[in-house]
Chains A and B, each alone.
Chain A
Amino acid sequence: MTVSPTLDKRFRAAAAAEGLLDVAYDLTESPIGPLLVAVSERGLCRISFDPEPERELDSLSRAFGARVLRSPRPVAEVKRELDEYFAGERRSFDLPVDIQRLTPFNRSVLEELARVPYGSLTTYGTLAGRTGRPRAARAVGMVMNRNPIPIVLPCHRVVGSTGSLVGYAGGLERKETLLQLEGALLVGS
């Protein structure tokens, strides 16, 4: 016997409304492919490219607690802001983020990263300098690579000292698309 979509939806909404979830998540479409978007009680805690549900749920469960459930309502605001961003109608996000579980170094790098404005580029070295560790460019690169909340924490705006795009956990093609969307990169460059 199958649970009707209405009943399923009702349970998922009730679970979130009662505050019983460690993490609520949903999937959303975007110009750079499907995204998994997850929020904890503190705020946005994950955006994943090419989500493979099983792996993502395991990872969220280990990081935030096992009460992980797909529930659209808590992530609706995040989805809305992402849609506006991809439509070119939004240049900054008004979303609390949850990076509390990361190490102090990772946190401070991501906090600096969040200040890099829309449409501009910075380098790994510059970002390292701003966190008070000018020689830690490589470590900053690692933090970018493991950024749990790409797009909103804009690691796509960080490039190598020679201006080359260097790398992106979601693939260089996505980095290019995001930078073109923001007008930071000429189309075809």
Chain B
Amino acid sequence: MMEVVRIPPFESLYLEHRDEVYGFLVRRIGRERAEDAFQETFLRALRGYQALRHGEHLRAWLYTIAARVAADEHRRRPPAVERHDEAVLDSRPEYAELEHLADGLPAKERVAVVLRYGYDLSYADIGMALGSSEEAARQAASSGVRRLRTRRIEIS
């Protein structure tokens, strides 16, 4: 039988990932707004912590929350510069919808697809979220997309 990975004390998770999550937020939305977003990310993580059923992929889970907080922040207060980014963001599917669509994928592929196509993360960042390489992230995203396409064909 597979052993369930235990959910660690929140303090351990926080100490292990706070700096990289903060760095990620600074890259996404700038230092000035990263502080509030950092607090919001970990408060959301705490709010969701009791509902977790196992301790697998917690780093990816944190990055997904951080990406969502950054996206919310982006929509609430779009920066004056970087207008071109917004157009790109708008043409993408709603990230909430994408998360729903990707629900049935294996965990790594799901995270890669959601972070890449829902939140527009670089493969380097997705690699960090997955605890693997940029190349592995690219592969996970592309096999996730392939799987989604096959599934759509099956459905239709």
Contact = CB atoms under 8 A, between A and B. Distances in A.
Interface stretch (B35-43, B63-71, B74-82): B35-43
A11 interface: yes
Interface stretch (B46-54, B106-114, B130-138, B141-149): B46-54
A69 B11 CA distance: 5
B43 A57 contact: no
A66 B38 contact: no
Nearest to A2: B19
A58 interface: yes
B116 interface: no
B14 interface: yes
By size class, the interface of chain B is 20 to 34
A14 B39 contact: yes
Contacts of A61: 7-9
A21 B46 contact: yes
B22 A2 contact: yes
Contacts of A18: 43, 46
B50 A14 contact: no
B7 A66 contact: yes
Given A7-B22, A7-B39, A70-B11, 7 more contacts: A1-B19, A2-B22, A11-B39, A11-B43, A20-B46, A66-B7, A67-B10
26 contacts: A1-B26, A3-B18, A3-B22, A7-B38, A11-B38, A11-B39, A11-B42, A15-B42, A15-B43, A20-B43, A20-B47, A21-B10, A21-B46, A57-B11, A60-B9, A61-B7, A65-B50, A66-B9, A66-B10, A67-B49, A68-B9, A68-B10, A68-B11, A69-B10, A69-B11, A69-B14
Identify the 9 closest CB pairs spanning chains A and B, nearest first. Answer: A1-B23, A57-B9, A61-B9, A68-B9, A20-B46, A66-B7, A3-B22, A11-B39, A3-B18
Interface of A: 1-3, 7-8, 10-11, 14-15, 18, 20-21, 54, 57-58, 60-61, 65-70
